[in-house]
């Protein structure tokens, strides 16, 4: 009988008991109903027969069923025996090494003939060995890590593993194992495929392929490189493997492209035919085309990078002649030639960029085109580029005409240079643009000439305005004293009072002096412009010069100051050597002009004049300081220009033609000096000039 199933005998016995019970119940009822007491014996015999005969029939049926089941079991046993024998023959005669080992201690329970032949151990030796004993010591930890990995019923060790034979040799195998129950024990059935020869063939193909192969770790260290690439570079495997990063074998330009390619590789998972340059051991450069692919773990982390390298020397040599023509054209051009991609990153810049903007080619290539411009020009360029891009999107098949634009570029030293840029898109075979080619021309001289022309025009217009103002002013300056001369002359003719006549004569003399100064200034300026004024330096005593100036200027002060005005004249002599080499007449003229201005704009206080050491060696400084109305800061440079005063309203109030300071500036510059003013509005002014004056005269 099979466990878990109801036997045929049990079914028959149960049926017999149920049937007998029904017969006895039916007979008892008949016996009681019909009163068959006098026929008790016959009744019992009939009942017994009714019970015995079905039981006998059931026993016969049960025996027949048991005999049939026994025959089936015998047949099934024979079939199982034949199947086990067949599978055992398959296990033992399989040409692939196979074994059964206990999972708990890895002890071999059974091995086939192929395993005995392959590994060199006898069946008895295998029976006393464990699975770890056919692994090299270096593989033991990996074995247990693999066996302890969480799997349900199946063990498969990916990759190639090493097994050790009895004679000490090591072979490479791929192992598959499967959990089974063997002799009521948890076991595993294993198969080992020898891939040593296949590995040798693969290694031979790897090492002697017509292209280079290498594998990089996640940190880009070379962990494997084939013999072809090693031979190209002139290194051995011991020189490079696990010691050198791939970027260390590249030129500086190659490192830049390598970083760009790596970023693209991490995004796309694969790159193809990227141009680069590797440095051989002898220092020569090997041009190559590199392709690479990312290999990741099951969790998505980077395992390694596999790359192929193709020697690009021949292909580049064929392109070298055309490239050389382009290089000669670009490097000998007076204009900068450049190319950039659709991301506005430079892909080529000619060496002229060094002369144009002061950057090296490498520095220029590291920036975008907009970064090399001033903010205003960068915004203008981006607006123009955006417009061109919109045209491309609107009509992708139409080729756009080149554009021309003036932009201000940044130089390395922080200055700027104006350039004219002509640029147009470069189109590929598919008709789509992949970049742009342009020429940058220095137009600084053109801009300077335009600015000079504009400045000259503005200056001429301003000069016309100033001359008009000057003519209006000088006409007023001439009419005022002339009216006084004419008017007081008429009065003088009719006046008999001596004191009044004397006052009229003084007024006529003052007007005449004023007219004489105006005419003298105009004539002097004309002589300066015509070059008639010559500088005639001579050795003089500075202290003596200023003694004479003091007497001259005191007389001028007495003539110019209105009655009742109190001004002090102070003389400050410096510590310079007393002897100097100067033109006395020109210095006196300048001091007289400065002193005249001081008197004009100072009503009270003091006027101080003097000299002292200049800012530089062998320079002498002269000055006239007053306590007058002062000059606004924004007007201090204008007053030295012709026909200009600090304020036109002042000319009406204080008079003057605006020529004195212009004449002084011309004279000072003719003598190689400088002139200036220090002033604050309402707090007086100090006019100064410095002249070179050699003091060691013989």
Q: Under 8 Å CB-to-CB from 328, ≥6 apart: which residues? A: none
| Residue 195, helix vs strand vs coil | coil
> How many whole angstroms separate alpha carbon 539 and alpha carbon 274?
81
Q: Tell me the mean pLDDT in the region 506-529.
A: 76
Lowest mean pLDDT: which of 110-114, 216-220, 332-336, 452-456? 332-336
Residues paired with residue 407 on neighbouring β-strands, in sequence order:
419
The answer to whether residues 155 and 147 touch, using CB atoms and an 8 Å cutoff, is yes
Share above pLDDT 70 across residues of the chain, in percent, rounded to a whole number: 77
The answer to whether residues 431 and 397 touch, using CB atoms and an 8 Å cutoff, is yes
Give Cα 217 to chain centroid, integer Å: 26
Q: Percentage helix, strand, coil, to 5, in the chain? A: 50, 25, 25
Please state which CATH class domain 94-198 belongs to: alpha beta
pLDDT band at 222 (very low <50, low <70, confident <90, very high): very high
> How many whole angstroms separate alpha carbon 144 and alpha carbon 539?
110
pLDDT at 150 over 90: no
From 3.90.245.10, 3.40.50.1820, 1.10.1660.10, 3.30.450.20, which CATH number describes the 333-442 domain?
3.30.450.20
R_g over Cα of the chain: 60
pLDDT at 180 over 70: yes
pLDDT band at 684 (very low <50, low <70, confident <90, very high): confident
> How many whole angstroms separate alpha carbon 302 and alpha carbon 292?
13
Which tens digits make up the pLDDT trace of 425-484? 888 766 778 888 888 888 888 888 888 888 888 877 777 776 766 666 666 667 777 777
Which tens digits make up the pLDDT trace of 553-583? 888 777 776 655 566 777 777 766 678 888 8
Which tens digits make up the pLDDT trace of 122-141? 989 999 999 888 888 877 77
pLDDT on residue 476: 64
pLDDT at 46 over 70: no
Strands 222-225 and 212-216, sheet pairing: antiparallel
Mean pLDDT of the chain: 79
Q: Evaluate if pTM is beyond 0.75.
A: no
pLDDT on residue 2: 40
Residue with tokens 């002096």: 513
Q: Fold for domain 444-529?
A: Helix Hairpins (1.10.287)
Nearest 5°: CA angle at 425, between 423 and 429? 150
Q: Tell me the mean pLDDT in the region 27-42.
A: 60
Residue with tokens 């061109």: 388
Higher pLDDT: 541 or 323? It is 541
Q: Fold for domain 534-692?
A: Heat Shock Protein 90 (3.30.565)
Q: What DSSP character marks residue 561?
A: S
Which ranges constitute the DSSP H helices of 35-139? 40-93, 113-119, 123-127
| CB atoms closer than 10 angstroms to residue 229 | 25
Which tens digits make up the pLDDT trace of 603-657? 777 888 888 888 887 888 899 988 888 888 877 777 887 665 555 444 444 555 6
pLDDT on residue 216: 93
For residue 165, give Cα distances in angstroms to 40, 101, 130, 381: 93, 18, 14, 75
Which tens digits make up the pLDDT trace of 274-307? 888 899 998 888 888 899 999 988 888 898 999 9
Q: Fold for domain 208-317?
A: Beta-Lactamase (3.30.450)
């Amino acid at each position: 009988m099979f466990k878990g199933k109801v036997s045929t005998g049990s079914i028959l016995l149960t049926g017999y008991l149920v049937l007998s019970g029904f017969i006895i119940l039916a007979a008892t009822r008949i016996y009681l109903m019909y009163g068959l007491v006098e026929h008790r014996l016959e009744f019992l015999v009939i009942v017994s027969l009714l019970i015995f005969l079905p039981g006998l029939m059931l026993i016969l049926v049960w025996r027949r069923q048991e005999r049939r089941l026994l025959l089936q079991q015998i047949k099934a046993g024979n079939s199982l025996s034949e199947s086990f024998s067949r599978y055992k023959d398959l296990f033992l005669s399989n040409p692939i090494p196979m074994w059964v080992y206990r999972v708990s201690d890895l002890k071999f329970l059974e091995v086939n003939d192929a395993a005995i032949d392959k590994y060199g151990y006898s069946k008895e030796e295998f029976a006393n060995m464990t699975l770890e004993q056919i692994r090299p010591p270096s593989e033991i930890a990996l074995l247990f890590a693999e066996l302890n990995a969480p799997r349900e019923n199946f063990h498969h060790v990916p990759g190639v593993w090493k097994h050790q034979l009895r004679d000490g040799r090591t072979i490479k195998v791929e192992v598959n194992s499967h959990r089974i129950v063997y002799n009521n024990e948890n076991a595993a059935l294993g198969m080992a495929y020898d891939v040593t020869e296949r590995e040798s063939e693969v290694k031979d193909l790897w090492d002697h392929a017509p292209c280079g192969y290498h594998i990089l770790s996640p940190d880009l260290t070379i962990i494997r490189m084939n013999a072809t690439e090693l031979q190209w570079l002139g290194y051995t495997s011991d020189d490079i493997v696990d010691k050198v990063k791939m970027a260390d074998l590249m030129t500086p330009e190659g490192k830049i492209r390598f970083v760009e390619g790596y970023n693209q590789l991490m995004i796309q998972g694969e790159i193809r035919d990227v141009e680069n340059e590797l440095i051989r051991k002898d220092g020569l450069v090997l041009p190559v085309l590199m392709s690479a692919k990312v290999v990741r773990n099951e969790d998505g982390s980077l395992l390694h990078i596999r790359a192929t390298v193709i020697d690009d020397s021949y292909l580049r040599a064929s392109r070298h002649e055309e490239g050389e023509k382009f290089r000669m054209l670009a490097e000998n051009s007076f204009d900068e030639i450049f190319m950039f991609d659709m991301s506005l990153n430079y892909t080529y810049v000619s060496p002229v960029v060094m002369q144009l903007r002061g950057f090296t080619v490498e520095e220029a290539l590291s920036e975008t085109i907009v970064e090399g411009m001033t903010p205003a020009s960068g915004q203008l360029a981006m607006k123009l580029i955006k417009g061109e891009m919109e045209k491309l999107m609107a009509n992708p098949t139409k080729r756009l005409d080149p554009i021309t634009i003036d932009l201000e570029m940044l130089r390395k030293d922080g200055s700027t240079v104006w350039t004219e840029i002509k640029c147009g898109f470069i189109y590929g075979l598919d008709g789509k643009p992949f970049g742009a080619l342009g020429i940058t021309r220095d137009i600084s001289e053109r801009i300077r000439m335009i600015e000079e022309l504009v400045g000259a025009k503005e200056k001429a217009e301003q000069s016309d305005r100033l001359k008009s103002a000057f003519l209006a002013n000088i006409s007023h300056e001439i009419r005022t004293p002339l009216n006084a001369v004419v008017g007081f002359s008429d009065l003088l003719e009719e006046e008999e009072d001596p004191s009044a006549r004397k006052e009229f004569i003084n007024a006529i003399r003052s007007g005449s002096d004023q007219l004489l100064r105006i005419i003298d200034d105009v004539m002097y300026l004309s002589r300066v412009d015509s070059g008639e004024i010559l500088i005639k330096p001579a050795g003089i005593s500075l202290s003596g010069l200023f003694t004479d100036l003091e007497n001259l200027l005191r007389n001028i002060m007495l003539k110019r100051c209105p009655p009742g005005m109190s001004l002090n004249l102070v003389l400050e002599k410096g510590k310079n050597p007393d002897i100097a080499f100067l033109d006395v007449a020109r210095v006196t003229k300048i001091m007289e002009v400065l002193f005249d201005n001081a008197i004009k704009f100072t009503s009270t206080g003091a006027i101080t004049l003097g000299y002292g050491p200049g800012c530089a060696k062998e320079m002498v400084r002269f000055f006239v300081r007053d306590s007058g109305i002062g000059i606004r800061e924004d007007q201090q440079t204008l007053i030295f220009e012709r026909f200009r005063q600090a304020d036109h309203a002042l000319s009406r109030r204080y008079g003057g033609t605006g020529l004195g300071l212009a004449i002084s500036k011309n004279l000072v510059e003719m003598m190689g000096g400088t002139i200036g003013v220090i002033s604050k509005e309402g707090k007086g002014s100090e006019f100064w000039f410095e002249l070179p004056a050699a003091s060691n005269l013989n």
